[in-house]
Amino acid sequence: MPLTQRFAVALKHYRELAQMSQEDLAAASDLDRTYISQLERALKSPTLNTLEKLATRLGIEAQYLLREPRGLNGPRVPGSYIMCPERRVAVARDSGHVHIPTTVLTSSINLAHELIDDMYAIDLDIAAILGLRNLSAFIGELVAAAMVKTGDGLFEPNPHQDGYPDLLLMDPVGQAEWRRLDERRTEKAPFSPFSGGGIELKATCGGVPSPAICRRRGIERPAIGDTRIGSMTGYDWKAHHRETNNLVGILWDFIAARPRVAAMFYASDLNDDDWGSIVQPRASGGRTTSVSIMNRSGIAKMYAGWLCVLSDGEYAAFLNRRNRGEQIPLPT
């Protein structure tokens, strides 16, 4: 594909990803809407200054506008999803609430899907290698890494793997605390919890009936790689402590044999009562870490904070039915 055409495709893709109209992008970039239209139709080529200006307004590195976006045939935000109209979410911390754009969270889905496709392109079947439990943890880590990229400096990964939260908020308060702790990065205590706040991420592929129940019902239990929504009976998220809040919850499923984010939720009002009792590891083995399972009140809060849901399939209907609500509009 010629470079001008590649730029045109990428510009339109990242503009729509940012939920901006041509008028919005033109105004933010001090350009004419007609010029943006001409760029997206490959009728004109941008100068380097214009390229840099557009990339800055779209919150991406300029290089992304010079290569064709990957994975355009897979689920994409916003086109493949029912999107919540809420444009901001709140991150709670001791000093109050900080509001961040919803797109910072949801746009990470596209990059996560592209990274998954890259792995399968080199015949790396991550589902077969990891298994469902490890794959859920991996999906959460993958979306978190993507969020650092799409956040354009808004988040910094917690320097400790089991620190809290997963992503540290780098607003002025967070940046000041991050600089203050520059020589203490090897210590876990200042980063669990991090006083500047941030977000936690958890992923689940939901539950399906046991093999015995499937046999009694005469149905086939979905195997790794099979779409699960038709058999899904419920879903929840697990955490290592009951103080978990500011949570991005991911529900994923297999679409065309590849793991995809089916829905994303967020809640900043979770408390101890929204999590079950801590299950401690058995002395003889089994569970290797303590874990708390989100209860119905927590799931209800996450449902109320839905951000996006795949429009294809029965995901919206399942989530509404499971939560006895109608918050997610059904696709028409």
What pLDDT sits at residue 219? 81
Cα-Cα-Cα-Cα dihedral of 35, 61, 71, 67, to 10°? 60
Domain-embedded: residue 72 = no
Domain-embedded: residue 147 = yes
Domain-embedded: residue 231 = yes
- In the chain, the largest separation of any two C-alpha atoms, in whole Å, equals 69
173 pLDDT higher than 70: yes
What pLDDT sits at residue 68? 63
Q: Is residue 314 domain-shared with residue 165, that is, in the same domain?
A: yes
**Mean predicted confidence (pLDDT) in 131-152:** 92
Neighbour tally for 120: CB within 10 Å: 14
Least confident of 17-21, 140-144, 200-204, 291-295: 17-21
DSSP state letters, 49-91: HHHHHHHHHHTS-GGGGGSPPS-TTS--TTTTEEE-S--EEEE
- Of 144 and 285, more confident: 144
Element (H, E) at 157: strand 155-157
End-to-end Cα distance, the chain = 35
How are the residues of the chain apportioned to helix, strand and coil, as percentages rounded to the nearest 5? 40, 20, 40
Domain-embedded: residue 328 = no
Q: Is residue 144 domain-shared with residue 55, that is, in the same domain?
A: no
The SS3 call for residue 296 is helix
Q: Is residue 61 domain-shared with residue 199, that is, in the same domain?
A: no
- The number of folded domains in the chain is 2
The answer to whether the beta carbons of residues 264 and 110 sit under 8 Å apart is: no
Domain-embedded: residue 329 = no
Query: Phi and psi at residue 74, in whole multiples of 5°?
Result: -90, 180
**CA-CA distance, 272 to 164, in Å (whole number)?**
16
71 pLDDT higher than 60: no
- Of 141 and 214, more confident: 141
What pLDDT sits at residue 69? 61
What pLDDT sits at residue 331? 85
Q: Is residue 26 domain-shared with residue 169, that is, in the same domain?
A: no
**What confidence category does residue 78 fall into, taking pLDDT thresholds of 50, 70 and 90?**
confident
Domain-embedded: residue 42 = yes
What pLDDT sits at residue 313? 85
Range of the domain at 147: 81-323
Q: Is residue 246 domain-shared with residue 149, that is, in the same domain?
A: yes
CATH number of residue 61's parent domain = 1.10.260.40
Domain-embedded: residue 314 = yes
Q: pLDDT digit string (tens) for 201-241?
A: 999 999 999 989 988 888 888 889 999 998 999 999 999 88
Q: Is residue 105 domain-shared with residue 237, that is, in the same domain?
A: yes
Which residues are paired to 249 by β-bridges? 202, 265
Q: Is residue 131 domain-shared with residue 94, that is, in the same domain?
A: yes
Q: Is residue 127 domain-shared with residue 39, that is, in the same domain?
A: no
Q: Is residue 290 domain-shared with residue 235, that is, in the same domain?
A: yes
Domain-embedded: residue 182 = yes
Closest CA to 7 of 49, 38, 32: 38
Q: Is residue 33 domain-shared with residue 103, that is, in the same domain?
A: no
**Mean predicted confidence (pLDDT) in 296-301:** 97
Least confident of 16-20, 102-106, 247-251, 321-325: 16-20
The SS3 call for residue 43 is coil
- Total-model pTM: 0.77
What pLDDT sits at residue 124? 86
Q: Is residue 183 domain-shared with residue 36, that is, in the same domain?
A: no
Element (H, E) at 39: helix 33-40
What pLDDT sits at residue 67? 76
Q: pLDDT digit string (tens) for 35-59?
A: 999 998 888 999 999 999 998 888 7
Which residues are paired to 292 by β-bridges? 239
What pLDDT sits at residue 121? 76
* Burial state string for 124-162 with b = 16 or more CB within 10 A and e = fewer than 16: eebbeebeeeebbebbbbbbbbbbbbbbeebbbbbbbee
Q: Is residue 32 domain-shared with residue 135, that is, in the same domain?
A: no
Average pLDDT in the chain: 90
